[in-house]
Amino acid sequence: MVKCCGLVADKNEPVPLKSVAVDVRVQGHVATVTSTLLYLNGEERPLVAVFVFPLPEESAFCHFSAKLGDTEVVAKLQDKQKAREQYDDALSSGHQAFLLEESDQSSDWFQVNVGSLPPGESAAITLVYISELAMQADDALRFCLPAVLNPRYTPQEMDSSKMATVPDTLALSAHLSSPQPISKVESNCALEPLVYLNADETQATVSLSSGHVFDRDVELLLYYQDAHEPTAIVEGGQDSAEPGSLMGDPLVMLSFYPEFPAAVTSTLATSGEFIFVVDRSGSMDCRMHSGNDAKMRIESARDTLLLLLKSLPMGCFFNIYGFGSSFESFFPKSVEYNQYTMDEALQKVNGMKADMGGTNILEPLQHLYSQPCIPSHPRELFIFTDGEVGNTKQVLDLVKLSVNSHRCFSFGIGEGASIALINGLAQEGSGHAQFITGTDRMQPKVMQSLRYALQPAVKDISVDWDLPDGVSVTTLSPPLNVLFHAKRALLYAQLEGESSGNPEGSVTIQYNLLEETVKNQLGFCLKPAGDTGETLHRLGARALIRSLEVEERAGGPEAAALREKLLQLSLQSGVGSTHTAFIAIHKGSGQAVQGPLLRRTIPTPSFRRSGFGGPMAMCSSMGPIVPIGRMSPRPPRSGMSEMDNPETFDMEGRAMLDDEGGFDVQDPLLQLISLQKASGSWEMDSSMAKVLVKSDDELAKLMPLGADKAVWATTLALIWLYGLRLEAQDEWQFVAMKAASWIQAQKVGCVSQCVQAGNALLGCQVQQETLGL
Mean pLDDT of 48-60: 63
Ranking 8-22, 83-97, 597-611 by mean pLDDT, the lowest is: 597-611
Is the pLDDT at 97 greater than 50? The verdict is yes
- 278 vs 165: which has the higher pLDDT: 278
- 486 vs 5: which has the higher pLDDT: 486
d(C-alpha 58, C-alpha 422), whole Å: 12
Mean pLDDT of 636-640: 35
7-228+572-592+601-618 matches 231-260+461-571 in fold: yes
Q: How confident is the model at residue 11 (pLDDT cuts 50, 70, 90)?
A: very low
Q: Check if CATH label 2.60.40 holds for domain 231-260+461-571.
A: yes
DSSP collapsed to 3 states, 605-632: CCCEECCCEECCCCCCCCCCCECCCCCC
- 108 vs 199: which has the higher pLDDT: 199
Is the pLDDT at 369 greater than 50? The verdict is yes
Give the model's pLDDT for residue 4.
34
Identity of the highest mean pLDDT range in 109-113, 300-304, 615-619, 709-713: 709-713
- 13 vs 324: which has the higher pLDDT: 324
In the chain, the percentage of residues whose pLDDT exceeds 90 is 25
Give the model's pLDDT for residue 63.
87
Give the model's pLDDT for residue 638.
34
Give the model's pLDDT for residue 48.
62
Mean pLDDT of 248-253: 91
Contacts of 56 (CB under 8 A, 6+ apart): 108, 131, 132, 419, 423, 607, 608, 611, 612, 613
Give the model's pLDDT for residue 349.
93
Give the model's pLDDT for residue 159.
41
- The pTM (predicted TM-score) of the whole model is 0.66
Is the pLDDT at 207 greater than 50? The verdict is yes
CATH of domain 270-454: 3.40.50.410
- Mean pLDDT of all residues in the chain? 77
DSSP collapsed to 3 states, 121-163: CEEEEEEEEEEECEECCCCCEEEEECCCCCCCCCECCCCHHHC
Q: How confident is the model at residue 290 (pLDDT cuts 50, 70, 90)?
A: confident
Q: How confident is the model at residue 703 (pLDDT cuts 50, 70, 90)?
A: very high
d(C-alpha 320, C-alpha 308), whole Å: 11
DSSP collapsed to 3 states, 254-296: EEECCCCCHHHHCCCCCCCEEEEEEECCHHHHCECCCCCCCCE
Report the phi/psi class of residue 143: left, alpha or beta, with left for phi > 0 and alpha for psi in -120 to 50. beta
- 129 vs 619: which has the higher pLDDT: 129
- Nearest Cα to Cα of residue 319 among 382, 403, 391: 382
Quick check: 666 and 727 in contact, CB under 8 A?
A: no
Is the pLDDT at 674 greater than 70? The verdict is yes
In the chain, the percentage of residues whose pLDDT exceeds 70 is 78
One-letter amino acid for residue 367 of the chain = H
Is the pLDDT at 342 greater than 90? The verdict is yes
Is the pLDDT at 636 greater than 60? The verdict is no
Give the model's pLDDT for residue 436.
80
Structural element, H or E, at residue 448: helix 442-454
Q: How confident is the model at residue 721 (pLDDT cuts 50, 70, 90)?
A: very high
d(C-alpha 515, C-alpha 510), whole Å: 13
- Nearest Cα to Cα of residue 599 among 620, 617, 577: 620
Mean pLDDT of 757-770: 91
In tens, the pLDDT along 110-169 reads: 666 665 667 777 778 888 888 888 777 677 888 877 554 322 222 233 344 443 444 556
Phi first, then psi, for residue 460 (nearest 5°) are 55, 50
Is the pLDDT at 618 greater than 70? The verdict is no
- Nearest Cα to Cα of residue 346 among 379, 304, 377: 304
d(C-alpha 672, C-alpha 762), whole Å: 14
Give the model's pLDDT for residue 474.
92
Is the pLDDT at 360 greater than 50? The verdict is yes
Is the pLDDT at 208 greater than 70? The verdict is yes
Mean pLDDT of 581-608: 55
Is the pLDDT at 676 greater than 90? The verdict is yes
Contacts of 559 (CB under 8 A, 6+ apart): 552
User: Tell me, which fold does domain 7-228+572-592+601-618 have in CATH?
Assistant: Immunoglobulin-like (2.60.40)
In tens, the pLDDT along 488-520 reads: 888 999 999 887 777 899 999 888 888 888 888
Beta strands at 141-145 and 218-224: parallel, antiparallel or unpaired: antiparallel
- 599 vs 375: which has the higher pLDDT: 375
Domain ranges of the chain: 7-228+572-592+601-618, 231-260+461-571, 270-454, 668-762
In tens, the pLDDT along 516-537 reads: 888 888 898 888 876 667 888 9
Give the model's pLDDT for residue 554.
67
For the beta carbon of residue 405, count every other beta carbon within 10 angstroms: 13
- 93 vs 741: which has the higher pLDDT: 741
In tens, the pLDDT along 557-588 reads: 788 888 899 999 999 998 888 889 888 887 76
> Could you tell me the sign of the dihedral formed by the alpha carbons of 277, 280, 286, 291, in that order?
positive
Is the pLDDT at 19 greater than 90? The verdict is no
